[in-house]
Structure 1
Amino acid sequence: MFHIKTFNAIAPEGMSRFDKDNYAINESKTPDGIILRSQKLHDYAFPESVVAVARAGAGTNNVPVTQCTKQGIVVFNTPGANANAVKELVIASLLLSVRPILQGAQWIQTLTGDDVEEQAEANKKQFAGHELEGKKLGVIGLGAIGAMIANDAYRLGMEVVGYDPYVSVDTAWSISRRVTRANELADVLTTCDFVTVHVPLTEQTKGMIGEAQLAKMKSGAKLFNFARGGIVDDTAVLNALKAGQLAGYTTDFADEKLLHNDKVLVLPHLGASTQEAEVNCAKMAARTLKRFLEEGTIKRSVNFPTVEMAFHSPYRITIINKNIPNMLGQISSTIADMNINIDNMVNRGRDDYAYTLVDINCDEQENAQAVAARLEENPDIIRVRVIKNPGVGY
């Protein structure tokens, strides 16, 4: 029986994937896994029983990832599950930035009298706007969201330039060949009428768009931030708006100093706030967490490498260890010294840590547990788990 602890309300379509015969939800103070949305865990004391955290969303800045890594806790996210919701909001915001739709709708509510239609026609010129077609959009970050925005903006008739030095092969295949790829960030900033940011918040991207970058932007350009608040320096944005260098700023992250400014549109973090996105994120988070608990498979982790291997043996040993030379040799030797055969083995490293799956051929769970206990004696091994294959046995 696996125990799952939830923070926040997780869509039932996701939680239903944890079958009641094998999972108990919020019934133990020592859970095996945690699934959450926006709850901040930086002050949470993780029980030693926790082996994984699944965040139903793309960002993981509310999870102490570094701390989790040191404790051998795998952190998962759900990239792409809410991509369509964010994409649609960005496209809507682009349209709102060139057409004063909101202002017109608010103004017309002030009209009275039998000649409302005539008043509207007579005064509509004050709400004349521009079109997106033919304008140039720069997309910084070509992950799941950025790629979708680039493709759809092109379909709207915009010229699109994308910048992402780390674009994945999968994403590269999904981006229209008509989207131009910039080699430098400056190529986007200096030439685009609109710039939208879609990168994760990390030490490297914090303050990525600041005073120096805003100074390079095309005069009269508009900036959009639906990624994370800390990526854009809000004070620098306000200064650029006041100086006329920047024509407008739209953000999904509330900051008091941004309010009550005619050139700034602040939204209450609506990016992934659709029923469809919440369901998709919950499903992906639950599926990822379940596969890890039952098979040891890692996919869509932010702190450990992707590791998958078909599970045909009676028992599987999962190992999180320091990424140092000869660890595989030590693991293999330890298992061989106990007269147990290794059926299959895979290892992947990521920065200072590595993850190993070892399928062993033994007929008793006690023997598998003995292997795990022996491996745990190695000071360079962080965590060891034993998983029994329910479909295989003697």
Structure 2
Amino acid sequence: MFKYNCLNPISEVGLVNFGSDYEETKNIDDADVVLVRSARMHDMELPEQLSAVARAGAGVNNIPLELCAEHGIVVFNTPGANANGVKELVLAGMLLASRDIVGGIEWVESQKENPDVGKQAEKQKKQFSGCEISGKKLGIIGLGAIGQLVANAATHLGMDVYGYDPYISVDAAWNLSRSIHHIQALEEIYRDCDYITIHVPLLESTRKMINKQAIDMMKEGVVILNFARDLLVDEDALVEALQSQKVKKYVTDFANPTVAGAPGTLVTPHLGASTEESEDNCAVMAVKQLRDYMENGNIRNSVNFPNCDMGRCGTEGRVAINHRNVVNMLSQFTKVLGDAGVNIADLTNKGKEGYAYTLIDLESPATAEIIEALEAVDGVLKVRIVK
């Protein structure tokens, strides 16, 4: 029996995918797996038996990835599960920034006691009219699950779409419309586009990538949209650019004291992936990944260990080993098994930066002595009998 703990409310649509071999515990100290959305885990003490953490969403800034890896805890996320919800909000953001819909609504509300509001509206509407997005140039930085959906949808709205992503996957490339221009230099996006939207992870290399230098390259009256992470933008420089009207509008999903109420900003309260459908999709994907890991040892969409898939075990036993990515590990594992007289039916080993993962199918079940011997190998972080 496996026990799972939810650090945040997780959609029941996802949780029902746990089978009868799983039960919920309210105490993380008893959990084999954890599901989380926004709860901060950096200050938590990780229980020894914890095997996996699943983030029901894409961002994992709230999870101590290195600490988890050092404890042999696989961290999953759910890329793409909330992509449509974010895509729709990005499109709404472009429309709100193009035509002063919010300002118009607020003006009408201010005139609610005016019996001539209809006549006055005809006189006032020009100041809220704005422009159409059809025919405008949209630059998309990052063509992952969300970026590609935004790109394809924008082409159907008549926009001229330019995409930049030096690390674009083959699948993402296949999913993109042929009409999208693939840009090799980020400066082209800054220089040529009327609208710029960011869809990249927060890394040291992307932190404050939209800074004063980048903004100076942009067109006058550019609209910048950020539904990825607030720290991708130097918001102090951005507010200055709004004040000088270099930037027409800044649309962001991340409220903070710098942008909340600042002139020219449209700030939503982190609504991107907050639709019922997105939360359901993320929960279903998270639970399925946890089950596949716990029951089969397979890893899919991990952010701190390599992906690895050997399907279902068809032999008498399977052992999963989380370890550091150093030389001579496999030979030590096979020696332990050979000394115990256990034959290996199949084996796979995958590495990802400083960490690695090995799955071994055995022709006889692993004993407690074998597990103890594998755990004693220098560099091994966690050993688990899958079957």
Same fold (TM over 0.5): yes
Q: Which residue identity lines up with residue 102 of structure 1 in the other structure?
A: V
Q: Structure 1 pair 27/256, CA: closer, same or farther in 2 (3 Å)?
A: closer
CA deviation map 1:313-355 (0-9, x unaligned): 1211001112122222221222112111111111110001110
Q: What's the counterpart of residue 118 of structure 1?
A: 119
Q: Which residue identity lines up with residue 316 of structure 1 in the other structure?
A: R
Q: What's the counterpart of residue 266 of structure 2?
A: 265
Asked if 2 retains the 8 angstrom alpha-carbon contact of 1:368 and 1:386, the reply is no
Alignment map for 1:270-349 (pairs within 5 Å): 270-310=271-311, 311-349=313-351
Shift of 1:182: 1.0
Q: Which residue identity lines up with residue 370 of structure 1 in the other structure?
A: E
Aligned-partner Cα distance in 2 for 1:214–1:333: 59
Q: TM-score of the superposition, structure 1-length normalised?
A: 0.94
Shift of 1:44: 0.5
Q: Which residue identity lines up with residue 349 of structure 2 in the other structure?
A: N
Asked if 2 retains the 8 angstrom alpha-carbon contact of 1:163 and 1:185, the reply is yes
Q: TM-score of the superposition, structure 2-length normalised?
A: 0.96
Aligned-partner Cα distance in 2 for 1:74–1:241: 42
Q: Structure 1 pair 116/247, CA: closer, same or farther in 2 (3 Å)?
A: closer
Asked if 2 retains the 8 angstrom alpha-carbon contact of 1:189 and 1:218, the reply is yes
Shift of 1:102: 1.5
Shift of 1:111: 4.0
Aligned-partner Cα distance in 1 for 2:224–2:123: 33
Q: What's the counterpart of residue 387 of structure 1?
A: 386
Comparing 255-264 with 314-323, greater Cα deviation is found at 255-264
Shift of 1:114: 5.0
Q: What's the counterpart of residue 371 of structure 1?
A: 370
Comparing 69-78 with 255-264, greater Cα deviation is found at 255-264
Comparing 116-125 with 341-350, greater Cα deviation is found at 116-125
Asked if 2 retains the 8 angstrom alpha-carbon contact of 1:33 and 1:289, the reply is yes
Aligned-partner Cα distance in 2 for 1:387–1:380: 20
Q: Which residue identity lines up with residue 26 of structure 1 in the other structure?
A: T
Asked if 1 retains the 8 angstrom alpha-carbon contact of 2:76 and 2:289, the reply is yes
Q: What's the counterpart of residue 196 of structure 1?
A: 197
Aligned-partner Cα distance in 1 for 2:117–2:239: 38
* 2:246 equivalent to 1:245: yes
Shift of 1:306: 0.9
Aligned-partner Cα distance in 2 for 1:242–1:129: 19
Asked if 1 retains the 8 angstrom alpha-carbon contact of 2:6 and 2:26, the reply is no
Shift of 1:124: 2.1
Shift of 1:238: 1.0
Asked if 2 retains the 8 angstrom alpha-carbon contact of 1:30 and 1:48, the reply is no
Shift of 1:27: 5.3
Aligned-partner Cα distance in 2 for 1:158–1:350: 39
> Unaligned regions of 5+ residues in structure 2, if any?
none
Q: Which residue identity lines up with residue 265 of structure 2 in the other structure?
A: V
Q: What's the counterpart of residue 70 of structure 1?
A: 70
Asked if 2 retains the 8 angstrom alpha-carbon contact of 1:41 and 1:62, the reply is yes
Q: What's the counterpart of residue 214 of structure 2?
A: 213
> Unaligned regions of 5+ residues in structure 1, if any?
389-394
Aligned-partner Cα distance in 2 for 1:117–1:210: 43
* 2:35 equivalent to 1:41: no
* 2:203 equivalent to 1:172: no
Query: What is the DSSP-based 3-state SS (H/G/I as helix, E as strand, rest coil) of the residue aligned with 1:24?
Result: strand
Shift of 1:117: 3.1
Aligned-partner Cα distance in 2 for 1:299–1:133: 39
Aligned-partner Cα distance in 1 for 2:93–2:26: 43
Aligned-partner Cα distance in 2 for 1:44–1:133: 49
Aligned-partner Cα distance in 1 for 2:80–2:147: 10
Q: What's the counterpart of residue 55 of structure 1?
A: 55
Comparing 125-134 with 81-90, greater Cα deviation is found at 125-134
Q: Which residue identity lines up with residue 153 of structure 1 in the other structure?
A: A
Query: What is the DSSP-based 3-state SS (H/G/I as helix, E as strand, rest coil) of the residue aligned with 2:192?
Result: coil
CA deviation map 1:196-218 (0-9, x unaligned): 00111122211121121111112
Query: What is the DSSP-based 3-state SS (H/G/I as helix, E as strand, rest coil) of the residue aligned with 2:345?
Result: strand
Aligned-partner Cα distance in 2 for 1:116–1:256: 35
Asked if 1 retains the 8 angstrom alpha-carbon contact of 2:239 and 2:262, the reply is no
Asked if 1 retains the 8 angstrom alpha-carbon contact of 2:32 and 2:50, the reply is yes
Q: Structure 1 pair 287/184, CA: closer, same or farther in 2 (3 Å)?
A: same
% of aligned pairs identical? 45
Comparing 243-252 with 68-77, greater Cα deviation is found at 243-252
Shift of 1:125: 2.0
CA deviation map 1:73-114 (0-9, x unaligned): 100001001000000000000001111111112222314455
Q: What's the counterpart of residue 226 of structure 2?
A: 225
Asked if 2 retains the 8 angstrom alpha-carbon contact of 1:99 and 1:129, the reply is yes
Alignment map for 1:131-146 (pairs within 5 Å): 131-146=132-147
Asked if 1 retains the 8 angstrom alpha-carbon contact of 2:306 and 2:357, the reply is yes
Query: What is the DSSP-based 3-state SS (H/G/I as helix, E as strand, rest coil) of the residue aligned with 2:205?
Result: coil
Q: Structure 1 pair 167/370, CA: closer, same or farther in 2 (3 Å)?
A: same
